[in-house]
Homo-oligomer: A and B are copies of this chain.
Amino acid sequence: MEHLKTGELAKRAGVNVETLRFYEREGLIPEPPRRVSGYREYPAESVRLIRFIKRAQELGFSLREVRELLALRVEPGTTCADVRHKAQEKVSDVREKIADLQAIERALNSLTASCSGEGPLTDCPILECLNGTTNEEK
């Protein structure tokens, strides 16, 4: 089978048919040739392309970034180092998110630690802290 219809490509790549149309509109995948009837005829390697997109997404790249990644492949004179650079940028991105979440985790932990779980709601240290009762109270 040399060319695929939308449904076939969608099934093989594990995405929704609408998603393919969406990616096409967003410029992530090229417009495929059409039959006279208007039916899209995707080359077999499109499966790869869609999976590439999905994998990149799993690695935390947004569709915008995926588009840039794909553009790199086509841009003449692009080097391996360019791609590497994008990946490294994404690493520091991810590290930042991790650090933010860790700060949140620490804050939540100290909150739950301050609360024995006993006593009525009115004395709950968590709500008090969220309310800012500790520092204000004009």
Q: Would A97 and B108 count as touching, CB distance under 8 A?
A: no
User: Quick check: is A36 within 8 A (CB to CB) of the other chain?
Assistant: no
Which residue of B51, B107, B117, B126 contacts A132 across the interface (Cβ within 8 Å)?
B51
Give residues in A with beta carbon < 8 Å to B: 48, 51-52, 55-56, 58-60, 69, 72-73, 78-84, 87-88, 90-91, 94-95, 97-98, 101-102, 104-105, 107-109, 111-112, 115-121, 123-127, 130-132, 136
Chain A to chain B contacts (Cβ below 8 Å), 30 pairs: A48-B136, A51-B131, A51-B132, A52-B132, A55-B130, A56-B130, A59-B111, A59-B130, A60-B104, A69-B130, A78-B121, A79-B121, A80-B115, A80-B118, A80-B119, A80-B120, A80-B125, A80-B126, A82-B121, A83-B126, A83-B127, A87-B111, A87-B115, A90-B108, A91-B112, A94-B101, A94-B108, A95-B105, A97-B101, A98-B101
Assembled-state Cα–Cα distance A53/B115 (Å)? 20
Residues in B with CB closer than 8 Å to A56 are 130
Q: Is the interface of A mostly helix, strand, loop or mixed?
A: helix
Min CB–CB distance A55 → chain B (angstroms): 5
